[in-house]
Amino acid sequence: MNCPKCGGTELSLYNREGFKITYCKKCKAMWIKFPVLQQIGEMLDLKMPLINPAEMEAIRVKEEPRTCPECSKTMDKVYFNGIVVDKCSECKGILFDNGELSKYFNLFMKKPVGVVDNISFLENYCNKSRVYEKESVSPEIEIQSKEKEYNVISVNGFVMLFIMLIWAILTWMFFVIDLPGVGIISAILLGLSFTGFKLLKPQEAMVLTVFGKYIGTLRGAGLHYVNPFAQSVTMFVPISLKAMTLDNGK
């Protein structure tokens, strides 16, 4: 297989910690599939499950299309966490240019490491001993970890709008019947509750935390209502696959 970026350079095999990756010795680009990304993730201290770039919606950019090193078909480009990566919709492989692998994992790591070249990231941060440390934790903690919800609990946002309309009428009634103290408290709580509304477009997701603890990933287009204290790890901005500004288009 030849490097999709360099063209004629043949991809080499990189074997580390039991997983195999093909990469270009010249430009350090790596051709990886999602199961291997999951293996790498097991060796890192992650705060949330990985998202598969190969399943994301393709975007249009002013770049020369690249050819899949496996099936020779033209690859699509997807936007993820400030980078544009190439994916093959046929082979489900993902091409990470040098430095993009660390940018991908930084979104999911508890302690991001910044931008590191692909080889250095694997050699310095991927250690199988971390997996052994996780296995040595008590069975109770291990079971709790496996029972974490991947999908955040939400209700239909339009239903909540109707409920809040009734709430607003009741709040107004408190002032009418001369209970301003109760009305003020009700109005404040009503205002705080509006932070629970989250609007997602097609092919968008929002990773949510409450006081820094991961509670789930919100998916599905439409108006949702979640825990008002839930915050997005990307500052209330969904993980958009149609972003207008790209940090790295190379």
CA distance 26 to 184: 66
Residue 39 exposure: Cα atoms within 13 Å on the Cβ side? 14
Residue 244 pLDDT: 34
Note the pLDDT tens digit of each residue in 202-220: 767 777 778 767 677 787 7
Nearest to 14 by CA among 117, 92, 91: 117
Note the pLDDT tens digit of each residue in 122-136: 888 877 655 444 444
pTM exceeds 0.85 for this model: no
Percent of the chain with pLDDT over 70: 79
Residue 137 exposure: Cα atoms within 13 Å on the Cβ side? 13
CA distance 99 to 115: 6
Q: What is the mean pLDDT of residues 237-241?
A: 50
Query: Which has more confidence, 103 or 131?
Result: 103
Q: Has residue 245 got a pLDDT over 50?
A: no
Neighbours of 216 (CB within 10 A): 22
Q: Has residue 68 got a pLDDT over 80?
A: yes
Q: Has residue 143 got a pLDDT over 50?
A: no
Alpha carbon separation from 130 to 35, 116, 136, 189, 192 (Å, rounded)? 18, 20, 10, 44, 41
Note the pLDDT tens digit of each residue in 153-168: 889 989 999 999 999 9
CA distance 36 to 19: 7
Longest distance between any two alpha carbons in the chain, whole Å? 81
